[in-house]
């Protein structure tokens, strides 16, 4: 896969801006709805700087999708998406990530927001260690179609071209009847990891739930949030 200069510059820019130390940030989901002192550890995707933050707001506004239901937050990173679901009505949230730092970060935020009794956290490749089905599965997947570099955090944004297909191959086994998959996308990353283009190849139905030109510190351009069904 060869990238355009604009794509490579964007990747370099994102990686350069992920050399952060541990920090705490207030994440504004909506007016008066703030996740105070949200923890972000080194080598974890910064949810306040990317379209992850639009997804967390969207999940806040669309809490009917997970009210009293079970959610899987796949590739949980800091835990932002599942934490929002846990706070705003989910019955249970299961978090999964392949890397150690996101698992530690998610556990800290679970404690921070007192969600211990309704959450489980598993480290593994996609659904490797998940034994249960969910009504809503969220995956803010690595968008860029090249392999990770030696910089640890790169696994958060550089997914190669296999992660999305492995996810779509197995996700059906973890979805309750009528269940929904939610995936965001930053379109500058191209078509290979665009769920709107790739999900139908796995027999899944896709609709655009949200699409807009956005401007967030590290992501400026067209983004979508897709609603995907079996």
Ligand X SMILES: C[S@@+](CC[C@H](N)C(=O)[O-])C[C@H]1O[C@@H](n2cnc3c(N)ncnc32)[C@H](O)[C@@H]1O
47 binds ligand X (CB under 6 A): yes
Q: Which stretch binds ligand X (CB under 6 A): 75-83, 86-94, 198-206, 213-221?
A: 75-83
Question: Which are the contacts of 117, defined by CB distance < 8 A and separation ≥ 6?
Answer: none
Among 86, 102, 145, 179, binds ligand X (CB under 6 A): 102
DSSP state of 171: G
**For residues 37 and 26, is the Cβ–Cβ distance under 8 A?**
yes
The two tokens of residue 7 are: 């794509």
For the bound state, the minimum distance from the C-beta of residue 220 to ligand X, rounded and expressed in Å, comes to 17
For the bound state, the minimum distance from the C-beta of residue 155 to ligand X, rounded and expressed in Å, comes to 5
Alpha helices in the chain (DSSP H): 5-16, 52-61, 80-87, 100-112, 163-170, 195-198
Cα torsion for 63, 66, 71, 75, to the nearest 10°?
A: -30
86 binds ligand X (CB under 6 A): no
Number of residues that bind ligand X (CB under 6 A): 22
Among 75, 86, 145, 179, binds ligand X (CB under 6 A): 75
Question: Which are the contacts of 133, defined by CB distance < 8 A and separation ≥ 6?
Answer: 70, 173, 174, 175, 176, 179
For the bound state, the minimum distance from the C-beta of residue 209 to ligand X, rounded and expressed in Å, comes to 16
Q: Which stretch binds ligand X (CB under 6 A): 33-41, 151-159, 190-198, 212-220?
A: 151-159
For the bound state, the minimum distance from the C-beta of residue 166 to ligand X, rounded and expressed in Å, comes to 7
Which residues form the interface with ligand X (CB under 6 A)? 45, 47, 52, 75-78, 80-81, 96-99, 102, 125-126, 140, 142, 155-157, 163
């Amino acid at each position: 896969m060869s990238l355009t200069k604009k794509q490579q510059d964007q990747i370099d820019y994102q990686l350069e801006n992920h050399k952060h130390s541990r920090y705490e940030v207030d994440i504004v989901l909506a007016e008066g709805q703030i996740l105070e002192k949200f923890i972000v550890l080194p080598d974890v995707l910064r949810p306040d700087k990317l379209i992850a933050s639009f997804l967390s707001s969207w999940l806040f506004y669309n809490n009917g999708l997970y009210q009293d239901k079970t959610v899987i937050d796949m590739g949980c990173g800091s835990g932002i998406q599942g934490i929002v679901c846990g706070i705003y009505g989910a019955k249970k949230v299961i978090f999964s990530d392949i890397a150690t730092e996101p698992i530690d970060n998610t556990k800290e935020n679970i404690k921070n927001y007192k969600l211990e009794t309704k959450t489980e956290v598993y480290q593994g490749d996609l659904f490797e260690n998940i034994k249960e089905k969910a009504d809503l599965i969220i995956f803010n997947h690595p968008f860029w179609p090249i392999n990770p570099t030696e910089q640890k955090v790169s696994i958060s944004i550089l997914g190669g071209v296999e992660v999305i297909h492995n996810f779509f191959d197995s996700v059906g086994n973890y979805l309750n009847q009528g269940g929904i998959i939610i995936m965001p996308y930053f379109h500058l990353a191209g078509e290979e990891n665009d769920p709107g283009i790739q999900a139908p190849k796995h027999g899944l139905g896709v609709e655009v739930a949200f699409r807009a030109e956005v401007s967030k510190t590290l992501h400026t351009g067209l983004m979508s949030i897709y609603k995907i069904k079996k």
